[in-house]
């Protein structure tokens, strides 16, 4: 059993913990929390040991919680660390703590690419993570784009240019202080947004430019993608490539999928934990071929899309399982859609 | 004085009425309202005669309002009609009423292009409206795109392809029943959205594709535009073209224009009627040249952008004034930004 320590138990960390616990070949050695809030109760209810930072031990004790130890204890009790700290805190943890040990660490996309030797997406470059000390799972939007482009490329559809336009969710559901309300915010106003360059940390040679705005939505990001292909492909060939690629879901307007909200409603109806939708949700009706141009719209569930990628990153970095075997195991244990998918 | 009858006194109609009243060479012969609600009081307060449909006269009387007459009386009392009815009602009015008279009628972009002989944008094709019986001012998003493309083309920048991605406001401020709340809605899910083909009703030869989603915003639309130019132009040349074109405003993030909300706050601070912003509001920071590709983001104020276009359409259809003279007069009377603008 691979012992996985999870540093950070927020939006991403708590989901990764549940996913790791569901795998069978790995278990959660502990989670690190900085604040003794209700999420500690969540962790305790699930049987996860809760660690904290050295300077937070007193605060936890005052709140009536006895931590299992400090971050260094957690690292010692783990074979691999997944750092799901807030933006830039992972890099601080690396300098302060991880650098003292010889354990592999998986960071999240909120960190700069330089924090790690490899930026990771399971479909795109699983094998590049093997034996690395530091790996970074790219962010939600970057993961969504990388999956779509890789799906096409793995199926022989060449991409000359990707120009992708993102309506970002302004905040996660629990972030009550963040906006915007009734506004559209260039995010950033400059071009490209960071997503395009970030995709290139995984898909080195792709010609990609992205623009992004933030909108008053908490449920999902929406992408409008314009791809210039290396030739004219039939629409059916594109749809087939997308349909058989793991972690991609094709939603039909005719089946009631008229917006992002219905995608999440579907996840809730299916009994998925937290109503999560880790697949890229492509609106099939939007998939349009016009000469050598391809258009499509898809939703990216910011809270959960990177969760299966983190599970695979654990196996990839340790060389514990071949790529497609890991992806299939992750998808099966997390009850993602596997019917009609090609694993390998 | 040109007598202008305005059929429909909703979001667009009431603004056109105020704009016509401010011109000096035209006046409002009357406005037509279908419902005897608070907007009748607005019309009365401004001294506009209120007409209604024949089958609404009783309803008005019951509400204590004596209409000045029916729609046919309004047409007789006018030299030109501006129809600002809800979508598709203009075409019904054409068949039922306008076809019986020999007066020019200006429709709005909610109508199909076929309702009129010419689809109109003042910058792009003012002279094509002259002497026509039926003219259609294109919709807010189409007006925004047409202005931006025309600004470049008038200044010698050739456009090979326009690929434009729209985050549409879900509803106008007063539309309390419309959504979405916390959702992003493909609008439509199919590609292209109607905006691209609609731009071609004015700019016949442009290669344009648009995609649109609706977001929980009432204040403005946001466009993310990707243009392939016929060569590599310096960024300064592009900015200069945009800066000197009437009805285009360049907003700097450094000056505090970080989102659409600040654009509208500026309009409110300037004392503009209703806090309207009839200019296309381009985020200067977003204007990016990359080889022969140009990127930019801009806001389109759906409630007011077509207002100056309607005023110009009146003069254009009657041959009452040359193009640039009309545009300048409209901009001056409506207190739009005229400094540094080139009229002609």
pLDDT band at B53 (very low <50, low <70, confident <90, very high): very high
pLDDT band at B290 (very low <50, low <70, confident <90, very high): very high
Q: Is B169 annotated as a binding residue?
A: yes
Report CB contact under 8 Å: A190, B288: yes
Check residue B294 and give its pLDDT. Answer: 98
Task: Provide the shortest C-alpha distance from residue A174 to chain B (in Å).
Answer: 13
Number of Cβ atoms within 10 Å of the Cβ of A174: 11
Number of Cβ atoms within 10 Å of the Cβ of A277: 26
Establish how many alpha carbons lie within 13 A of residue B168's alpha carbon, considering only the half-sphere containing its beta carbon.
21
Number of Cβ atoms within 10 Å of the Cβ of B230: 12
Question: Concatenated DSSP letters for A106-150?
Answer: EE-TTS-GGGSSEEE-HHHHGGGGTT-SEEEE--HHHHHHHHHHH
Phi, psi of A126 (to 5 degrees): -45, -45
Check residue B178 and give its pLDDT. Answer: 97
- Measured CA to CA, the distance from residue A101 to residue B247 in angstroms comes to 62
Report CB contact under 8 Å: A190, B224: no
What DSSP element (H or E) covers A76? Answer: helix A71-76
Residues in chain B: 344
Q: Which residues of chain A have pLDDT under 70?
A: none
Check residue A247 and give its pLDDT. Answer: 98
Tokens of B174: 């007063």
| All structural domains of chain A with their residue ranges | 2-138+306-333, 140-300
Judged by DSSP in three states, A23 sits in: coil
pLDDT band at B251 (very low <50, low <70, confident <90, very high): very high
Q: pLDDT digit string (tens) for B200-243? A: 999 999 999 999 999 999 999 999 999 999 999 999 999 999 99
Fold classification of A2-138+306-333 (topology level): Rossmann fold (3.40.50)
Query: What is the DSSP code (8-state) at residue B133?
Result: S
Q: What is the CATH number of domain B140-300?
A: 3.30.360.10
Query: What is the DSSP code (8-state) at residue B303?
Result: T
Check residue B257 and give its pLDDT. Answer: 97
Chain B residues 252-311 within an 8 A CB cutoff of chain A: 253, 258-261, 283, 285-286, 288, 290, 293, 295, 297, 299
Average pLDDT over residues B119-128: 98
A239 and B166 Cβ atoms separated by less than 8 Å: no
Report CB contact under 8 Å: B185, A258: yes
A25 and A45 Cβ atoms separated by less than 8 Å: no
Which residues of chain B make contact with A252, given a CB cutoff of 8 A?
none
A8 and A84 Cβ atoms separated by less than 8 Å: yes
Which residues of chain A make contact with B258, given a CB cutoff of 8 A?
185-186, 189
Q: pLDDT digit string (tens) for A105-150? A: 999 999 999 999 999 999 999 999 999 999 999 999 999 999 999 9
**Burial tier of A272 (Cβ tally within 10 Å: 0-12, 13-18, 19+):** middle
Q: pLDDT digit string (tens) for B125-179? A: 999 999 999 999 999 999 999 999 999 999 999 999 999 999 999 999 999 999 9
In this structure, are strands A2-7 and B208-215 parallel, antiparallel, or unpaired? unpaired
Check residue A122 and give its pLDDT. Answer: 98
B90 and B83 Cβ atoms separated by less than 8 Å: yes
Which residues of chain A make contact with B184, given a CB cutoff of 8 A?
167, 215, 217, 220, 222, 259-260, 299
């Amino acid at each position: 059993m691979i012992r996985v320590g999870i540093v950070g138990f927020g939006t991403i960390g708590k989901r990764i913990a549940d996913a790791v616990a569901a795998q069978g070949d790995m278990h959660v050695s502990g989670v690190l929390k900085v604040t003794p809030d209700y999420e500690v109760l969540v962790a305790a209810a699930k049987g996860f040991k809760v660690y904290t930072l050295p300077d937070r031990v007193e605060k936890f004790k005052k709140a009536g919680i006895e931590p299992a130890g400090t971050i260094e204890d957690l690292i010692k009790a783990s074979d691999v660390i997944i750092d799901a700290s807030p933006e830039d805190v992972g890099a601080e943890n690396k300098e302060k703590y991880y650098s003292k040990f010889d354990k592999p660490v998986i960071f999240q996309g909120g960190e700069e690419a330089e924090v790690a030797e490899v930026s990771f997406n399971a479909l795109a470059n699983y094998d590049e993570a093997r034996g690395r000390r530091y790996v970074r799972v790219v962010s939600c939007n970057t993961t969504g784009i990388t999956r779509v482009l890789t799906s096409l490329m793995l199926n022989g559809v060449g991409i000359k240019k990707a120009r992708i336009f993102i309506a970002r969710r302004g905040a996660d559901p629990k972030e009550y202080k963040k906006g915007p309300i009734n506004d559209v915010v260039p995010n950033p106003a400059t071009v490209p947004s960071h997503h395009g360059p970030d995709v290139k940390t995984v898909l080195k040679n792709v010609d990609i430019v992205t623009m992004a705005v933030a909108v008053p939505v908490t449920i999902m990001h929406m992408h409008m993608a314009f791809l210039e292909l290396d030739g004219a492909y039939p629409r059916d060939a594109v749809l087939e490539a997308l349909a058989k690629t793991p972690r991609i879901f094709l939603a039909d307007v005719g089946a009631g999928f008229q917006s992002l909200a219905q995608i999440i409603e579907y996840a809730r109806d299916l009994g998925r934990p937290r109503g999560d939708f880790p697949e890229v949700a492509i609106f099939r009706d939007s998939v349009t071929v016009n000469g050598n141009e391809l258009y499509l719209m898809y939703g990216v569930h910011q809270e959960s899309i990177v969760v299966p990628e983190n599970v695979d990153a654990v196996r990839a970095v340790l060389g514990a399982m071949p790529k497609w075997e890991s992806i299939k195991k992750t998808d099966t244990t997390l009850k993602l859609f596997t019917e009609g998918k090609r694993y390998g």
